[in-house]
Chains A and B, each alone.
Chain A
Amino acid sequence: EIVLTQSPGTLSLSPGDRATLSCRASQSVTSRYVAWYQQKAGQAPRLLIHGASSRASGIPERFSGSGSGTDFTLTINRLEPEDFALYYCQQYGRSPWTFGQGTKVEIK
């Protein structure tokens, strides 16, 4: 199975900063089939990005995704207070679909 490794484990930033989250796959992900999710305490994950760079419905433009092959990035421009949360990447290019272990974006 494809193992996804996210870095860093924790990102300490201030509102207004830019967050750059990395997701590295153990094998190349077919057709950029990578998604990003946000999860807040006590809630289910929420889809942010699919197809590596397409924003899901209702997701603000400050969220953007990029990458291909084995390296993918989620960028959050101008962090808002509600953006401090856990973020997961997922690949759906090769079954079994797998998730990264998560990156926590916390207030500095």
Chain B
Amino acid sequence: QVQLQESGPGLVKPSGTLSLTCAVSGDSVSNNNWWSWVRQTPEKGLEWIGEIFYDGTTNYNPSLESRVTISIDKSKNHFSLNLNSLTAADTAFYYCVRVYWGAFDFWGLGTLVTVSS
């Protein structure tokens, strides 16, 4: 069974950088798959942030592209999200997800990130 687990700080300061890692088990990030990040807020609902292919190719949501970096670490079987220049609007539940033929078939439990001083 594929499992994903997000980790990272739950509280970050405005103008700072959010850094989250997604540990993958039951699958390898080196396989022929895309791996994605999605966030959710009551105001905006579900928002796709971006994704990374096993070879490092990335695809970002244009609304966040200037602030986002997604990377992959095959040796640790995980992938990561960095989002900079944070504001309160970035407060959200962040999910890491495996992409299956374009759809999101396995999700992490999610982690709440609050942007506040």
**Is the CB of A63 closer than 8 A to any CB of chain B?**
no
Per-position contact with A for B71-106: 1 when CB-CB < 8 Å, else 0? 000000000000000000000000100001111110
Say yes or no: A96 contacts B110, CB within 8 Å.
no
Size category, A interface: 20 to 34
Whether the pair B46, A99 counts as a contact (CB closer than 8 A) is: yes
Given A44-B109, A102-B45, CB of A92 within 8 Å of CB of B102: yes
Question: Helix, strand, loop or mixed for chain B's interface?
Answer: strand
Report if A77 contacts B (CB, 8 A).
no
Chain A nearest CB, measured from B42 CB (Å): 11
Are A35 and B46 in touch, CB under 8 angstroms? no
Question: Which chain B residue shows the least CB distance to A36?
Answer: B103
B107 at the interface (CB under 8 A from A): yes
CB distance from A36 to the nearest CB of B (A): 9
In the complex, which residues of chain B have a beta carbon less than 8 angstroms from the beta carbon of A56? 103, 105
Residue from the set A92, A95, A97 with the largest chain B CB neighbour count within 10 Å = A97
Alpha-carbon gap, A50 to B110, bound state (A)? 22
Which residues of B have CB within 8 Å of A95? 59
